[in-house]
Structure 1
Amino acid sequence: VLLIPEGRDITVRKLAEQELQRQNQRSQLLSEVTLKIRQSLQLEEILQTTVTEVQKLLQADRVLICQLHPDGFGTVVQEAVLPNWPVILGQNIIDPYLGTDYVNNSYPDENCPLLNLNPATNHPFNNELLAQFVVKANLVAPILVKQQLWGFLIAHQCDNPRQWTTFEIELLHQLADQIGIALSQAQLLENLEEMVAERTAELTATNQQLQQEISDRQQAEEALRQSEEQLRLITDALPVFISYIDAQQCYRFNNQAYEDWFGRTRTEIYGLHIRELWGETVYQRIQRYIEVALSGERVTYENDLLDREGNTHYLSTTHIPDVNEQGEVKGFFTVIIDISDRKAVERMKDEFVSVASHELRTPLTSIRGSLGLLATGKLGTLTEKGQRMLEIAVNNTDRLSRLVNDILDLQRMESGKVRMVKQDCNAADLIVQAAEAMHAMAEKERITLSIAPVSILLWADPDSILQTLINLLSNAIKFSPPGSTIWLTVETQNQEVLFQVKDQGRGIPANKLQSIFERFQQVDASDSRKKGGTGLGLAICRNIVEQHGGRLWAESVVGEGSTFYFTLPAVRKEGGHNHDKQVYSTH
């Protein structure tokens, strides 16, 4: 058994208690200083607090922080110094020993003190530099930020040499570590503040841009609202129906005329489907025209409808497609004009023309007979001048008779009194018959008729189609120069039969290509006198073609000639069998 003297045991215990007290004191001091350092995240304030607290704690003459630069220079960025000693704050320290190798080479045990200065000792701050700052004892601890040497925490004793204790050395190193942590946090905060400032600037710019966009949009919306109000004022003042219908056939705009007609407010009409507003019966009648508009084509048609009081109105409707830049149909505009008054005038005019034509036919027959009798010479021989006057009278009488007959034919067609006998017929036969009928007239005008008969079956009234071909050939001959050629052809195209009459005449201006199919319309008003036309031939042709479910139109180049086209349906089939003959009313 080993016996330890009691006195020695007490001494060891006292030393242990003293060491424990020193550790507690160091921990307490470190905590207090660390707390003060950590109370701020501002770099300058952290450094100032550090040097002040360390100077008090170590009772040193000077405590400073030197920040190391990449070029090896150091700058004193903070300092706490007693009044009797020189101030070195802001000075640059040029020392070849400053650098990243300092930590590894100078302090391998991280606790090496610098005692009383010895000129022969090799250390970071050389003797000349320390003598300049009146330093008798020097203690240095590296400050690391993210494992990189940032600078040094340095304590100077200037009045006399000083032996730094282990406690002081360890405390300085621990405080340097805390400074490194605080600096890292401060840099992080600074970077964060920069990021926040940058992001704030971006958000501010974005917000300003959004505000500008909002302002621009509000101005655009206000301009649009004013434009819509002006448009509505204008459209409401017009005696026509004006509306916009989207691709789903729902109303998105309508003027006052709709409200007056239906007895509904603008809000009640908005969003309604066409079927809901006009009713199923009317919708079935106009649906095909709506589909044409939604396919991107403009369409115009006439319709008769009853108003709320039960009165009949004749309406002319035009659908104008709304097509975007990509070619998509977004909807269509609709303009409806009440043409009831015009229709009434047309009926009165038709009735008058019909009555007048019937009344003219009998005296014209008598006049033509009398003129014919004079022309035979049985009532005596006329002088040369009398003979010329007789020829003029006969020609004008024939012209007037043709006009009366055309008027009566057209009036009967439009009133539904003409009965067309539709049957299977051959297009080649119709072309040959029409050419034979017009051969004499063409030969007289020295014009060549070129035909290309093709055997195609079609469903039509052969007499009416033959009349149409003869009228078109007659017009072509009248307006073609001698020595030219007129072509008459036929072909099949998309389940239809297409006829073409092409001439080399003077042509038709583009603004006349539609109006020439109206009654009493000609390219030149003098044509009726010079060419002997009535201005009804093309109107009769169009009526015949439309009664067959076809179309008639013209294309022309002024000075080169014109081409008239019309289509007819191919052989009609019902129940899988051809019908050889069937009677249809034109009504």
Structure 2
Amino acid sequence: MSSISTVGESAASQASLWQAIADTEPLAFAGQTRLATAIAQLSKRPTAGCVLSVYRQKVVGIATRQDLMDALAQNPDWANMRLAEVVSRPVMTVTRSAVREIAPIVDLLEWHRISYLPVVDECEHLLGVIDRSRLLRALQEGRSSASDPSRRARLFADITLKIRQSLQLKDILQTTVDEVQRLLNADRVLIYQVLPDSTGKAISEAVVAPFPSILEMSFPEEVFPEAYQTLYAEGRVRAVADVRDPQANVSDCLLEFIGQWGIKSKLIVPIIRLREPSANAAAEAVPVRQHLWGLLIAHQCAHARQWSAFELDLMQQLAGQISLALSQGHLMAYLEERVKLRTAELTEANLSLQQEIRDHQQVDNALRQSEAQLRLVTNNLPVLIAYVDRHQRYQFNNQIYEEWLGFSPKEIYQKTMKQVMCEADYNRIQPYVETVLAGEQVSYESELTFKDDRDRSVSVTYLPHREVSENSQSAKGKLSAGEVKGFFALTMDISDRKAIERMKDEFIAVVSHELRTPLTSIHTSLKLLATGLLGDLLEEGQEMLTVADENTDRLVRLVNNVLDLQRIESGEVTIDACDCNTAELVKQAAETMQGMTQQHDIEVTLRAESLSIWADPDYIMQTLTNLLGNAIKFSAPGKKVYLSVGSAGASSEVSSNVFPNTPTAALFCVRDEGQGIPTDKLHSIFERFQQVNSSDSRKKGGTGLGLTICRKIVEQHGGKIWAESQLGKGSRFYFTVPLSAVISPSPARPH
């Protein structure tokens, strides 16, 4: 609610003004009135421009005719709407006692940008509505006379409306001087701007013929000295009826200066703006100072003129309007600059967004193309490829599923593994699925029935798909099961490979058995000849006999190694595990190799910790002697070979970070000072017939199967074997065997 206080008028004038500008019988309804009812009543009152929502005679909402038409157009179900859904809240009102002059009401309508103003009594009960159209008609009727104060107010309001119709400062100033000149019937009205250097010029002017124009003419500081500027900045108003009257106190030099434009009377009103303090001044709480921006001046040139109080009051009010326009112009310029900057920012953001959209489109196109290429590749690979999510639903299958199993990718999509497989097959692979969903890679071999009812051997690998993020690592550096999104399943047909392996094993077994008996006989015969019991040979014959003996010995070892490896891989070997003392095993291995060490002039150094392991002592001895034999053969005479055993993680031979937790295994190490092994050979030397230097190995009597047998034996015991080496400095071979404390004794386990 607003309260407007103005200079009082007579009761008759107020009543006349009230009847002229107010609708005393406005359309008012309760908020729950149907919208259709309000529109029907409004159509019967063409002069009414709005309807009011009231509650206990108090105005709570307002809707213009345009608001109702918009609601009608935008809501198909408008017939069921209530008036409360359309009206605007809160409502600006004015008391009846404040309706005394038109000008303040015009200001109120313009300031709040409204066309209708409800009028209430002191109890806030509705009395009527002031609308803009009635107000303008009242102003038009009041132009004929300015003698009546109410007429003067309406006239001022009319000028104010014209001034506010423009947003450009230049147009506002020109409208002001034109209207004042026409209203006062003055010969010249101008606006004089005071410049920062105390000079000035006329920037707007309205002048009648034949008097000369002084527009854009500059005036020196002497015409308007700083002392005068100070007086006008403090609000001085000067009305001079006759500039040549001695009582007017106009200096002779100024009379001479203004005489060239024929000025006989003048009325001067200051235009004052509030100057904002600087940032420092604001911090020091310096008050806002008044700043003289310029002067609103009226000249009478044809004759002397006595200026009336109305004219003086009108000039002062219009000067105030100009001051307001200057502030608004400054604000408008600031807002326009802000709008320009914001528009530039939005344009840049829009361009960036468009570029981002284009980038996304390019990425999407690239992804679609990549997906098409990936599907093309996977559909042509002779492998079953699938992606299964964490709920065990198939999300991707390649075309080979249909060729092998008779299931098209569309049939399998979004189905669970249990729905696709029979119950027995699913129960068999369920542990592997649970393992991969826990974040571990799984590989296994199985049998798979193809769509032609043939059983084929397959190798299956499950690869977990993890969503890796900064916080996904656990304390041990592993990903938890909840972070696995699904897994990739790769299934290869290895039936042909299995058949070849079976044929190869059978061939090796047959050949080895067939070779073993004659080789043993030949080797025995050569040994007998070498003793000289059957007669002495010539020196040349003795050399040939030695070569033959060495080669048959190598062949016997090769056949024995092949047979051992074949038995281990075929599962014919039985590990007779028992509690063994590591120190005793190391000592026995060194004693077994004593003859070889003397032959090659090698010293074996032992460092053994007494530990109890659960192992087959014969196979551990075979592993140790194989590793010691290699170390001795590939070491130069006079060098040392080191054999040690200790708790895994406690041995100085290997970094403690390999086994950071409490030791659960014994760690054996064989170290030599030989030529070393290249880094790229450290893994392949444990495969069949793999040697670092085949020619050198033949000279040393190697078969290429010793390390493979060692690896098989260690793995059968649940341990690991690996090698470390530096060229020119020697090699280290490690293997682990579980301690008895972590293995529950059980009957002999077949492997």
TM-score interval for Structure 1 and Structure 2 normalised by the shorter chain: 0.7 to 0.9
Q: Displacement of 1:361 after TM fit?
A: 1.5
Equivalent residue for 1:312?
456
What is the TM-score normalised by the length of structure 1? 0.85
Cα deviation code 1:411-459 (max 9, x no counterpart): 1111111111111111111111111111210121111111101101111
CA contact (8 A) 2:435 2:442 kept: no
The 3 A distance-change label for structure 1 pair 566 and 276 is farther
1:213 matched to 2:356 = yes
CA gap 1:572/1:108 in 2 versus in 1, 3 angstroms:
closer
Give the C-alpha shift of residue 572 in structure 1.
4.5
**Gap regions ≥5 residues in structure 1:** 1-18, 294-298
Verify the 8 A CA contact 1:68 1:99 in the aligned structure 2: no
8 Å CA contact 2:243–2:250 kept in 1: the answer is: no
Residue among 688, 691, 695 paired with 1:519: 688
Would the aligned equivalents of 1:68 and 1:150 in 2 still touch at CA under 8 Å? yes
Give the match's secondary structure for 1:582: coil
Select which of 300, 310, 313 maps to 1:157.
Answer: 300
Task: Give the superposition deviation at 1:74.
Answer: 2.2
Deviates more, 1:123-132 or 1:196-205: 123-132
Deviation at 1:38, TM superposition (A): 1.5
CA distance in 1, matches of 2:467, 2:693: 37
Return the letter of the residue paired with 1:546. E
**Match of 2:612, as an amino acid?**
L
CA deviation map 1:256-305 (0-9, x unaligned): 44665666565777788889988453242365567565xxxxx6845234
Distance (whole Å) between structure 1 residues aligned to residue 633 and residue 562 of structure 2: 21
For residues 139 and 47 of structure 1, what CA distance do their matches in structure 2 show?
A: 17
Matched, 1:195 2:338: yes
Q: Please state whether the residue corresponding to 2:266 is helix, strand or coil.
A: strand
Task: Indicate how the Cα distance of structure 1 residues 207 and 126 shifts in structure 2: closer, same or farther if over 3 A, else same.
Answer: farther
Counterpart pick for 2:431 among 284, 290, 302: 284
Q: Is the 8 A contact 2:666 2:738 kept in 1?
A: yes
Partner of 2:44: none
Among candidates 233, 246, 266, match of residue 138 of structure 1: 266
Do the aligned partners of 1:322 and 1:333 also contact (CA within 8 Å) in 2?
no
Shift in CA distance, 252/469, structure 1 to aligned 2, threshold 3 Å: farther
**1:52 Cα deviation from its structure 2 partner:** 0.8
1:38 to 2:38 alignment: no
Asked whether the 8 Å contact 1:241–1:258 carries over to 2, the reply is yes
| 1:343 partner letter | K
Question: What displacement does 1:345 show?
Answer: 1.2
For 2:383 and 2:390, the matched residues in 1 are separated by 22
**Counterpart pick for 2:194 among 55, 65, 68:** 68
Q: Distance in 2 between matches of 1:490 and 1:274?
A: 48
- Preserved contact between residue 499 and residue 566 of structure 1 (Cα < 8 Å): yes
Q: Determine the structure 1 residue equivalent to 2:668.
A: 499
DSSP 3-state at the match of 2:735: strand
Of 127, 130, 140, the residue aligned with 2:255 is 127
Query: For residue 13 of structure 1, what is the aligned residue in structure 2?
Result: none
Shift of 1:223: 2.9
Structure 1 pair 573–106 and aligned structure 2 pair: CA distance change class (3 A): closer
Q: 1:531 and 2:694 equivalent?
A: no
Deviation at 1:247, TM superposition (A): 9.2
Partner of 2:239: 113
Secondary structure of the 2:294 match is strand
Partners of 2:532 and 2:358 in 1: CA distance? 96
Structure 1 position 91 matched with structure 2 position 233: no
The reply on whether 1:564 has 2:739 as its aligned counterpart is: no
Within-5 A mapping of 1:355-370 = 355-370=510-525
* SS of corresponding position for 2:197: coil
Distance 1:487 1:360 in 2: 37
Q: How has the CA–CA distance of structure 1 residues 58 and 526 changed in structure 2, closer, same or farther, with 3 Å as cutoff?
A: same
Q: Where does residue 747 of structure 2 map in the other structure?
A: 582
Aligned to 2:48: none
- Give 3-state SS (helix, strand or coil) of 2:216's partner: coil
One-letter code of the match for 1:513?
A: L
CA contact (8 A) 1:426 1:456 kept: yes
What CA distance in whole angstroms lies between the structure 1 residues aligned with 2:435 and 2:272?
Answer: 86
Which of residues 585, 595, 598 is equivalent to 1:440?
595
2:376 matched residue in structure 1: 233
Distance 1:521 1:111, change over 3 A: closer
Determine the C-alpha separation between the residues in 1 that align with 2:409 and 2:244.
104
Question: In structure 2, do the counterparts of structure 1 residues 33 and 463 end up closer, same or farther at CA, with 3 Å as the change threshold?
Answer: same
Counterpart residue identity of residue 545, structure 2: L
8 A contact 2:608–2:646 mirrored in 1: no
Residues 62 and 155 in structure 1, CA contact (< 8 A), matched pair in contact too: yes
Q: Is 2:298 the counterpart of 1:172?
A: no
Q: Residues 267, 103 of structure 1: CA spacing in aligned structure 2 closer, same or farther, 3 A cutoff?
A: farther
CA distance in 1, matches of 2:508, 2:235: 129
2:689 paired with 1:547: no
Residue number among 390, 401, 420 corresponding to 2:575 in the alignment: 420
Deviates more, 1:192-201 or 1:306-315: 306-315
**Post-superposition offset of 1:568:** 1.2
Q: What does residue 51 of structure 1 align with?
A: 177
For the Cα contact (< 8 Å) 2:579–2:613, is it kept in 1? yes
Gaps of 5+ in 2: 1-144, 275-289, 474-478, 649-662
CA deviations on 1:326-360 (whole Å, 9 max, x unpaired) are: 69678787765443322321221111000111111
Change (3 A) 1:209 1:421: same
Matched, 1:24 2:179: no
Amino acid paired to 1:469: L
Moved more, 436-445 or 183-192: 183-192
Secondary structure at 2:740 match in 1: coil
Task: State the one-letter code of the partner of 2:635.
Answer: S
In the superposition, relative to structure 1, how do residues 420 and 388 fare at CA in structure 2: closer, same or farther (>3 Å)? Answer: same
Kindly state the Cα deviation for residue 246 of structure 1 after the two structures are TM-superposed.
8.3
| Structure 2 counterparts to residues 475-490 of structure 1, below 5 A | 475-490=630-645
* Correspondence for 1:11: none
**Is the CA contact (8 Å cut-off) linking 1:512 and 1:523 kept in structure 2?**
yes
Amino acid at match of 1:218: Q
RCO comparison, higher one (Cα < 8 Å, 6+): 1
Match of 2:679 among 468, 487, 510: 510
Task: Return the alpha-carbon distance in structure 1 between the equivalents of residues 525 and 257 of structure 2.
Answer: 149
Matches within 5 A, 1:324-335: none
CA spacing shift, 1:122–1:325, aligned 2, 3 Å: farther
From the superposition, tell whether residues 241 and 541 of structure 1 become closer, same or farther in structure 2 (CA, over 3 Å): same
Offset of residue 405 of structure 1: 1.1
Kept after mapping to 1: 8 A contact 2:236/2:270 = no
RMSD: 3.4
Q: 1:216 to 1:389 in 2, by over 3 A?
A: same
Is 1:516–1:523's contact at 8 Å kept on the other side of the alignment? yes
Q: Indicate conservation of the 8 Å contact 1:111/1:166, yes or no.
A: no
User: CA–CA distance in 2 between the matches of 1:74 and 1:246?
Assistant: 83
**Equivalent residues of 1:454, 1:490 under 8 A apart:** yes
Pairing 1:453–2:597 present: no
Aligned equivalents of 1:465, 1:107: Cα separation in 2: 112
2:458, 2:491 within 8 Å by CA — same for their partners in 1? no
Q: Which is further off, 173-182 or 471-480?
A: 173-182
Superposition deviation, residue 466 in structure 1: 0.9
Q: Give the counterpart of 1:388 among 543, 564, 570.
A: 543
Take 1:204 and 1:107, find their aligned partners in 2: how far apart are those partners?
A: 45
Three-state SS of the structure 2 residue aligned to 1:153 is strand
Residues in 2 aligned to 1:236 and 1:204: alpha-carbon distance in whole angstroms: 47
Closer/same/farther in 2, CA of residues 454 and 358 from structure 1, 3 Å limit: same
DSSP-derived class of the 2:559 partner: helix
Would you say the 8 A contact 1:245–1:333 is kept in 2?
A: yes
8 Å contact kept, 1:275–1:283: no
Q: Displacement of 1:118 after TM fit?
A: 3.4
Distance in 1, matches of 2:259 and 2:233, equals 22
Amino acid paired to 1:201:
A
Please say if residues 232 and 270 of structure 2, whose CA atoms lie closer than 8 Å, have aligned partners that are also in contact. Answer: no
Deviates more, 1:180-189 or 1:196-205: 180-189
Q: For residues 245 and 537 of structure 1, what CA distance do their matches in structure 2 show?
A: 42
Q: TM-score, normalised by structure 2?
A: 0.67
